[in-house]
Amino acid sequence: MSTLRMQMAPPMPWVWVIRTRDSTPALYVGKLANAYFYDNIIAGQVDFLYGFGTAFIDKATLSLRRCGGGITAWKGTNTTFSNKYGIYIADSKVLAANSSLINDIKESCSLGRPWNSLHRSVFMHTYFDSSILPAGYTTWQGSPNNFNNETFMAVYDVYGPGYDQTAERTGNITQILNSKEVAPYARPIDVFMTPEGHQPNIAWLDPIAASTGRP
């Protein structure tokens, strides 16, 4: 099987409408890069959304071909300013790639695992089918230092048969946000910044997408 690796890195921001299908990591956002994705189908199975920069994915279908590691695996960076590096998935669907997989991967797919302790990812207004692990996120097995009180693996207003709020709270890894807590990450205008940490950094985006995430 061929490997597709899309790399985004500064100084240029990126806006993509894509259709990718691969079992290997499919989407990589480089350090300091900003990337906006709209109306995507992204298929993979092991850490297929990963990187260092900032990505906002809107109205996507994340298609699970199997489960391994997590859907997201982000590596945060210490900076002298407060940064928003991470991956944000909004108004999307997370589904088994086809009906033959549904029973095989039921309640097996982690929303993500921390590449380092500064991992940041949020699923917002997103549908989960029964493939999703009831506890939501997981730690990185064998790397206990990758998870601490700075790790931010969160959900807001997600729904569907794969969402189990009780299991997420019991697992004590997934953060369940309220409307105030999600506000700093809810729109592209909230998260994209320059390499120096200045906001907003949205001149490269469609004006409607920049403010609402809905072009």
57-61, 170-174, 176-180, 199-203: least confidently modelled range:
199-203
d(C-alpha 102, C-alpha 100), whole Å: 6
Beta bridge partners of 62: 42, 94
Note whether 129 and 163 are within 8 A (CB): no
Q: Does 61 reside within a domain?
A: yes
Say if 1 falls within a structural domain: no
If one counts the domains in the chain, the total is: 1
Please, which pLDDT band fits residue 68 given cuts at 50, 70 and 90?
Answer: confident
Percentage of the chain lying above the pLDDT 70 cut: 86
- pLDDT reading at 208 higher than 80: no
Q: How much is the average pLDDT of 156-172?
A: 98
At 161 the pLDDT is: 98
The 10s digit of each residue's pLDDT in 91-137 is 999 999 999 999 999 999 999 999 999 999 999 999 999 999 999 99
The rounded mean pLDDT for the chain is 88
Would you state the pLDDT for residue 209? 76
Extract the tokens encoding 157: 């207003």
Q: Is pLDDT at 87 greater than 90 in this prediction? A: yes
Strands (E), the chain: 6-8, 14-16, 19-21, 27-29, 34-38, 41-46, 49-51, 54-58, 61-68, 72-74, 86-90, 93-96, 120-124, 127-128, 152-156, 175-176
Average pLDDT over every residue of 17-22:
51
Q: Which run of H or E residues covers position 168?
A: helix 165-171
More confident residue, 22 or 57: 57
The whole-number pLDDT of residue 12 equals 56
Q: Both tokens of residue 171?
A: 């697992």
Residue reference for tokens 């690796």: 5
Mean pLDDT value across residues 13-28: 57
The answer to whether the peptide bond before residue 11 is cis (omega within 30 degrees of 0) is yes
Here the CATH number for the domain that contains residue 156 is 2.160.20.10
Q: Which domain holds residue 196?
A: 6-202
Residue 62 falls within a domain, yes or no? yes
DSSP β-bridge partners for residue 38: 58
Average pLDDT, integer, range 4-15: 52
Token reading at 204? 């490269």
- Region for 69 from its dihedrals, namely left if φ exceeds 0, alpha if ψ lies in -120 to 50, beta otherwise: left
What is d(CA 135, CA 176) in angstroms, rounded to the nearest whole number? 11
Q: For residues 137 and 81, what is the distance between their CA atoms, to the nearest angstrom?
A: 27
Q: Is the pLDDT of residue 215 over 60?
A: no
Domain for residue 214, yes or no?
no
Residue 145 within a domain = yes
CA distance 159 to 154: 13
Kindly report which listed range (25-29, 30-34, 52-56) carries the lowest average pLDDT score.
25-29
- Does the pTM exceed 0.75? yes
Residue 142 is assigned to a structural domain of this protein: yes
- Residue 171 covered by a domain: yes
41 found inside a domain: yes
Q: Among 2-11, 20-29, 172-181, whose mean pLDDT is lowest?
A: 2-11
